[in-house]
Structure 1
């Protein structure tokens, strides 16, 4: 059997992303390695304390991996929140919303009752979309 180890989000600025994920979301730095042999590629990961899964804060690459047009397209889609969504669960969505808001996280949607629970949305400085959900109903 296998298990999920990492998920990736595109970020415009790895240092800004690291500060957001550690200082505002309360995650911990897991890996920060620069590989000179790969053009100073930086492998940067964070994770929720007590969980094994890591989030890779991946800089949007340029040449030779991506041409300028593709790089710009990914950056644009990320900034608009359309490069994917990461889902977090919490025991108390409203309390987590208040705690994160107090740390400076700007929510795009305040906690609302849904058929499956209480749900809120926020984005990181690069525009990535996140959902914060307190599951109270049946998800199937």
Structure 2
């Protein structure tokens, strides 16, 4: 029986730069950082409030991915077309101000939604990430809602 989620992978352009972004800018903690052979680096981060969930920072590279897929992934990263992760925040507007002051690119400023306050940003690899200050909602809260 599955008991929980323990690991997610996130495609990044440069592991060192992404490790610094997620730890120095977003406040994650470094996890494992191990070379497994000459061509594969196992590097993870975790959030201090959820240390049981590891996020594996990985680049689209061989030998496990074919060249055509690596090229497609790199294009998608360059175009900012890859989804990243969703993050809950306690104050979306304050988090937006803090991260904006650190140079984080936002695609959408904080906006009220039926489920909370939401902002959309990019990490330093172009992955889009959603920040949500959640609140209680019902299905009726979505009737006639403009979700942009």
Greater relative contact order, per chain length (Cα 8 Å cut-off, separation 6+): 1
CA RMSD of aligned residues (A): 1.6
Residue correspondence of structure 1 range 42-121 to structure 2 within 5 A: 42-51=41-50, 52-62=52-62, 64-121=63-120
Once residues 138 and 12 of structure 2 are traced to their aligned partners in structure 1, the CA distance between those partners, rounded to angstroms, is 30
List structure 1 runs of 4+ shifted beyond 3 angstroms: none
Q: How does 1:2-21 map to 2 (within 5 A)?
A: 2-21=3-22
Unaligned runs of 5+ residues in structure 2 are 140-148
Deviation at 1:34, TM superposition (A): 0.5
Q: Could you state the TM-score of these two structures normalised by the residue count of structure 1?
A: 0.88
What is the distance in 2 between the residues matched to 1:81 and 1:2?
33
- Give yes or no for contact 1:17–1:57 (8 Å, CA) kept in 2: yes
> What is the TM-score with the length of structure 2 in the denominator?
0.84
Larger radius of gyration: 2
Q: What 5-or-longer segments of structure 1 have no aligned partner?
A: none
What whole-Å deviation, never above 9, does each CA across 1:35-84 have from its counterpart, x for those lacking one?
A: 12xx331001111113121211111112x322222101011123333333
- 1-structure distance, mates of 2:89, 2:71: 34
Paired residues in the alignment total: 137
